[in-house]
Structure 1
Amino acid sequence: MHREKILLVYDQECPVCRAYCQIVKIRESVGDLVIVNARECSEVLNEITAAGLDLDQGMVLKMGKKLYYGSDALHALAVISSRSGALNRINYYLFKSERLSSLFYPPLRFCRNLLLKLLGKSSINNLMNS
């Protein structure tokens, strides 16, 4: 039986994003989570850029043909996540609500952007490169 591939596109240069993507697990019944580095050319990156989604301002989750962006991506991940392990349970409770996700996401994005600046990392600039 063919399992759906669910793509999570994130910034591998961000240590917090990288840690999150290594920890988050989805339920086996949903499909296979495939982690995609937003800094490497790929078909899904082209699709995200064509949709006008700025990867410097949010991660993207692709399920089927639908793209979830920023807080919507975190919320969708929480809904399909496994509850195994303390960090996956925390992820679920923090982001299972669309309202909480949209409340928490802007400060998380700000911290990510500040961290990258402090580390001297460049922006992804996927919209500028299109």
Structure 2
Amino acid sequence: MTENVIVYDGECPFCSQYVKMLRIRESVGAVRLIDARSADETAIFARGKYDMDQGMAARISGEWYYGDDCIHILSMISSPVTVFNKLNGWVFRSPKRARVLYPVMRTGRNLVLRLLGRRKIGQSLSET
């Protein structure tokens, strides 16, 4: 059985909080959270397959999801036990809303990283 994982930017305060607030273990079991900047083999795989500066990725039940598809699937499997998960589910259960809103969220992420003086994933890895 393939491990369920979410690969996200650990230096992005929004990304970090988002994955911590999700309640999906109830529906798919254990989910490992992986910082895309790490040397973890799954993070390295995800960076090679996807532009991790443009979106997060998740492998759920053996299937990879990226960007707006990732946030959509995570909203579909998250338990509506908290206000955050109810709101997340309502907003992103629609693939169309996820497709429209995800670029806005990504732009906000990039702006916050710039304001905090943090480099994008691709930049910080190429300079190490």
| Contact 1:4/1:31 (8 A) holds in 2 | no
Percent identity, please: 37
How many matched pairs?
A: 125
Q: Would you identify which runs of 4 or more consecutive aligned residues in structure 1 move more than 2 Å?
A: none
Residue of structure 1 in register with 2:90 after alignment:
93
**What amino acid is the match of 1:16?**
F
Residue of structure 1 in register with 2:37 after alignment:
39
How much does 1:28 deviate? Answer: 1.7
CA distance in 2, matches of 1:55, 1:73: 12
Q: Normalization by structure 1: what TM-score?
A: 0.88
How much does 1:46 deviate? Answer: 2.3
Mapped pair 1:69 → 2:66 = yes
| Contiguous gaps of at least 5 residues in structure 2 | none
| Contact 2:80/2:86 (8 A) holds in 1 | yes
The two structures, once aligned, show a CA RMSD in angstroms of: 1.8
| Contact 2:23/2:78 (8 A) holds in 1 | yes
**What secondary structure is seen at the aligned counterpart in 2 of 1:125?**
helix
Residue of structure 2 in register with 1:106 after alignment:
103
How much does 1:4 deviate? Answer: 6.0
Superposed, 1:73-84 pairs within 5 Å as 73-84=70-81
Q: Normalization by structure 2: what TM-score?
A: 0.89
